[in-house]
Structure 1
């Protein structure tokens, strides 16, 4: 069943699903935020990035490992280690069971690095991008490939710690009955800070109002120029040094339709658009 708008969907969730909650409207809003995250994950999967995806991993700021930020999705360079088949009798498929595979055991995985996650539970609850263990500059994830009545198959993948892209989801908009969304600017500021601090390619506002870009190489030299031209050059290049420290930042935001118009770009939109490299919108039609 579809709804005319996100606001209409939130009304239904508030009245019929989360009516028991102390703040049913807030609970419905959080559920819609989860919906944005689900749509984003399956978009990444449909684009062929599933085996690059990590979920809610701490991402250090560039040049400042003391401060990390959890992001909804990060995309990492990955290497397929193996594919494993299993029967239903072997459920649950836990990180410990996966790590006991001889090929993984040869990697010297320690008990301290092991996670308590389960890729697939006895009740067939799936954990997407299930982290098995952390190995310093790499970590190992498991991904379910297929599931049938008799059993299934999963892939075990090694991913590099530093991602090449991040996707952050923000459910922003002016809710019905409100002239302004009081929390939307705070969400925009949070996202903007992360987007501006994780990549080696730094944004610099020039005196003419345009956006300049600056990136330092390991030999101490700098490359600079128009931010978007420089970003395109780095992405298209085969310079492993620059690519290894560049992170594409993507914001995925819900737009309630009343958040902004072509004539009126609210401050939240400007903050997000000028901070993320790409800004993708989920409209009322896309969500409801």
Structure 2
């Protein structure tokens, strides 16, 4: 792992619930020695990627990220394109919907919307990246990656995030075959013990998968009939989002066929 990667990885420690981090906590979170972490933090601060609270001396994300984010959105307005589609999907199904883009072997959330029609809701953190093997969004994207890259990712150790996370590559390969036939994925309790989700891939102008759009439902409402009503609306949203991104959505041979039996969503 190079020096630049080690420095930039420190930025991934921030989240909506951890907006400021002190040197000691960075050392604990990264597992690196204090001198090295301090050097990386200082370099990030000098370049505007971090700033330090003058009172607490804790670090927070800096203004350089805002500038780069604005440049990215101006040149490639993905968030602006996906926002109305995700919002309309959430309103149509009455549940939380979100879209994410591929970031290496993870998905990075772009936008989410929740109509908040129910007392029990899904907690969604846009600062949290999504693993490809443990989320329906990840599985949808993983299924359409180039075969060599997919094999490489499945050959690595897969982390169990809950008791139901699928870490067996053979099982995942079988599920990938189903996703490639139907165009959508569905998992429950594999990333969050109390959540079921359904997702469809998004494709860019070069025909390659670029991310996924998904609907997340509290497990208490995620019966077979409820999840089945989501599928056509999700597929249409994925088709619309792909067109907005300049891509062409494939025709899947079994798009309207249930992927899983009612007694076994996963």
State the TM-score, normalized to the length of structure 1: 0.21
Of structures 1 and 2, the one scoring higher in RCO (CA 8 A, sep 6+) is: 1
Select the structure that is richer in helix: 2
Structure exhibiting the larger radius of gyration computed from Cα positions? 1
Select the structure that is richer in strand: 1
